[in-house]
Structures are given as C-alpha cells and as structure tokens.
C-alpha cells in the first residue's frame, strides 16, 4: 500500500512507530508522502523515519497528485477532518482517519456519503477494539456464560494534566475521550443504544475550562443499559485508559479492569438461595492478535483494502459511536433524554 500521511503532529509518531515495528505492516506499507500545514513537520517525520524519497508539502492535493497513493492516513485535528478526508476520498484514495470520525454528526454523515460515492473505504482509528483484553471479555459475553447481557457499566477516572487545547475546549471529556469508551461498549454489547440521559459537570478544582466529568445512561434497543461514569479530574485512584468494566448477565457478572489479564467472571450456583454461592466461569485463553492497538487498526485497514472486506472500524459502524457522543452532549445541554440520531 502506497500511503500519504496528513497531519504530522504528536500522534504521527505512534503511527510511524507502529508501522516500523510491526513486520506485517512494515513489509506492506510504503510511506510515499507527508503533509502538514507546517511543512517542516512533514519533512521532519519523513526524514526521522527514513522515508527519504517521500514527497513532502503543505498541500494535500498536490502531494497526492505527485505521490499517487492508494491510501491517505489522516491525523489532522478534528476541525480539519471533514475537508481533508473529503479531499482524499475525492482524489480516489482509501482513508484511515484518526478518531473522531468528524467534528459534528452532520459532517460525519457527509463523509459517509462522499466515501460511498467515491467507492472508497473510510476507516476510523478506534484502537481499543484491537486489544487482547477486550476481545476476551467479548468472548465471555458472546459465549453466554453469564447469560443474556442486561447491563454494561464503564468507569473512566483519570486525573490527566495534558495542558494545551484540551484544557480550553468545551465538552472535553465527552468529545475527546468518551468516543473510545462508547465505541468499546458498542463493540461488547449485542444491542445498539437508542437513547441517552447525560449530566456533564466541571467539578470544583477542575483545571479544564468545560465538561471534565460526565455521567451518562444509555438505553439499548433490547432493553439493556450501558452506563458511563467518567472524569478527567479524578485524582488519586486512576482506572486504566481502557476504563474499568462490569458486565451483568442473567446468570452472572464479568469484571474487566482494562488490562490484558484483568478479567474475571462468576455465576451463581443456585437460583433459590437468598445470597447464592458463586463459582468462577472458565475463561477463554488470552488472545494473541496479529497486531494490537494502533498497529491492529492499521493492519485491519490494509487487509480490508487488499481483500475488499469491511474493516472492523469502518465509517458505517463508527458513525453510530459518534452519534452516542453527540446525543450525550445534547442531553447534557437540554437536560432531557435524547434519541440517537442515526
Ligand atoms: N486514537 C488515539 O488514542 C488518539 C490519541 C491522541 C490523539 N488522537 C487524535 O489524533 C488526531 C491528531 O492529534 P495530535 O495529538 O497528533 O494533534 P497535533 O495538534 O499534535 O497534530 C495535528 C497536526 O495536524 C496538522 N494539521 C492541522 N490541520 C491540517 C490540515 N488541514 N492539513 C494538514 N495538516 C494539518 C497540524 O499542523 C499538526 O501538526 C486528533 O484527531 C486526535 O483526536 C487519537
């Protein structure tokens, strides 16, 4: 795959290291161009990662015309995503975009149409789907070992001092971070969310301007629920970045701390006792994935383009996770339950 990278900021190192350090990517992906509004950033990344003959510049269309890529890797800031992804799709390239898929839901819907009209793939980086721990929890839920899933709960508590744009933006937790947890929840649940109540706060002592904490309650089509409790200003006892999860089924409960090994599940041994005894569920073996996190999404994208199959985090799926974010924001602003607009 000949690929052009657009947006050579902080995240580009994660992508370029993933490509360099994953043999299945290294032998298949050739970085033929680098673009950034700041051309020196494009030149720096091309040289730092050894792509000395790559085309560099600040104009995506010009670099595409010269480098003739099959795909564009889009790592620009969310506000520039619609324009950049549309340019790449209209130029006949498949696109792998960083999250979020778009800055607004209408923009995401436009991009969906543009990709469909162009007959090209648009896939989104949701790296948490490509972790062994979440795959194992998904296996436990899908095996039926804890019965039918009736509730899924995620706690995300990290006191994160980023500095920079996050501390100035509105709805910071819901817009910048919750998309990962919401998408992970959709990955785990057999039923899609249809509505949400959300309360957003900026707790006393917050170093963010707006919305550093949120509590959301989603109801799903099958009557099950997903709850999210999150804060970026919860100091003293961080969860993992993947969140801490409780999946409750009709027969038992699975707990996952977000790590590779931190999974347990119990079912009750009697349906009649007041407080029935519990016994552990035999867990599936830990997963070995062909590549994990960012490398996993990039490899899935490359293979989807090679074979024509749908990628795990394709635009048609990802827009449903994005809809959760914007419905939660809408609910937080109006105080009402909001139906998902998808
Ligand atoms: N998946 C994850 O875990 C994860 C983690 C962090 C960031 N991200 C996402 O990655 C994206 C980039 O984040 P970052 O931290 O690298 O930001 P950044 O600000 O460090 O870099 C963004 C770069 O894009 C360039 N740029 C902006 N508009 C452009 C345009 N129109 N054309 C060309 N270049 C343009 C900027 O000059 C900058 O160099 C964001 O969407 C962010 O949400 C994802």
Residue-level pLDDT, tens digit, the chain, 342 residues:
999 999 999 999 999 999 999 999 999 999 999 999 999 999 999 999 999 999 999 999 999 999 999 999 999 999 999 999 999 999 999 999 999 999 999 999 999 999 999 999 999 999 999 999 999 999 999 999 999 999 999 999 999 999 988 899 999 999 999 999 999 999 999 999 999 999 999 999 999 999 999 999 999 999 999 999 999 999 999 999 999 999 999 999 999 999 999 999 999 988 788 989 999 999 998 889 999 999 999 999 999 999 999 999 999 999 999 999 999 999 999 999 999 988
Q: Whose CA is nearest to atom 3 of ligand 1?
A: 127
The alpha carbon of 11 and the centre of ligand 1 are apart by a number of angstroms equal to: 6
- The distance of Cα 222 from the centroid of its chain, to the nearest Å, equals 24
The full length of the chain comes to 342
The alpha carbon of 166 and the centre of ligand 1 are apart by a number of angstroms equal to: 12
CB atoms within 10 A of CB 83: 12
339's enclosing H/E stretch is strand 338-339
CA distances from 271 to 59, 276, 294 (A): 66, 7, 44
Q: Is 282 touching ligand 1 by the criterion CB < 6 Å?
A: no
Task: Detail the DSSP E strand segments found in 158-282.
Answer: 193-201, 213-220, 225-231, 244-249, 252-256, 263-268, 278-280
Structure tokens that stand for 169 in this block: 């933006």
Which domains are seen in the chain, by residue range? 2-124 (3.40.50.720), 129-288+322-339 (3.30.360.10)
Cα-Cα-Cα-Cα dihedral of 293, 297, 302, 303, to 10°?
100
The alpha carbon of 210 and the centre of ligand 1 are apart by a number of angstroms equal to: 21
110, with CB counted inside 10 A (0-12, 13-18, 19+), is middle
Q: Is 284 touching ligand 1 by the criterion CB < 6 Å?
A: no
Given ligand 1 and candidates 6, 11, 44, 102, which is best to mutate, with the most ligand atoms within 8 Å of its CB?
11
């Amino acid at each position: 795959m000949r690929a052009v990278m657009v947006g050579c900021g902080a995240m580009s190192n994660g992508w370029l290291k993933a490509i360099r350090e994953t043999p299945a990517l290294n032998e298949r992906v050739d970085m033929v161009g680098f673009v950034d509004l700041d051309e020196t950033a494009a030149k720096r990344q091309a040289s730092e990662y050894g792509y000395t003959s790559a085309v560099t510049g600040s104009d995506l269309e010009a670099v595409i015309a010269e480098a003739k890529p099959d795909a564009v890797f889009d790592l620009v800031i969310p506000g520039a995503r619609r324009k950049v992804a549309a340019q790449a799709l209209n130029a006949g390239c498949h696109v792998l975009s960083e999250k979020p898929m778009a800055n607004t839901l209408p923009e995401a819907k436009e991009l969906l149409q543009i990709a469909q009209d162009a007959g090209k793939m648009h896939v989104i980086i949701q790296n948490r789907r490509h972790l062994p721990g979440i795959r194992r929890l998904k296996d436990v839920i899908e095996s039926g070992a804890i019965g039918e899933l009736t509730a899924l709960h995620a706690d995300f508590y990290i006191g994160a001092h980023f500095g920079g744009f996050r501390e100035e933006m509105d709805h910071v937790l819901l817009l910048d971070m919750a998309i990962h947890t919401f998408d992970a929840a959709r990955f785990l649940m057999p039923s899609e969310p249809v509505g949400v109540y959300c309360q957003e706060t900026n707790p006393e002592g917050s170093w963010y301007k707006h919305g550093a904490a949120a509590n959301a309650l989603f109801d799903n089509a099958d009557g099950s629920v997903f709850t999210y409790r999150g804060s970026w200003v919860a100091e003293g006892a961080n969860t993992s970045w993947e969140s801490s999860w409780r999946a409750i089924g009709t027969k038992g409960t699975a707990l996952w701390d977000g790590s590779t090994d931190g999974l347990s599940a119990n079912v009750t041994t009697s349906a009649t006792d007041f407080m029935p005894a519990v016994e552990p569920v035999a867990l599936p073996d830990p997963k070995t994935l062909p590549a994990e996190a960012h490398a996993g999404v990039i490899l899935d994208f490359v293979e989807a383009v090679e074979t024509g199959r749908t990628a795990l985090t394709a635009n048609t799926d990802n827009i449903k996770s994005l809809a959760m974010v914007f419905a939660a924001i809408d609910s937080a602003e109006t105080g009402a339950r909001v139906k998902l607009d998808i």
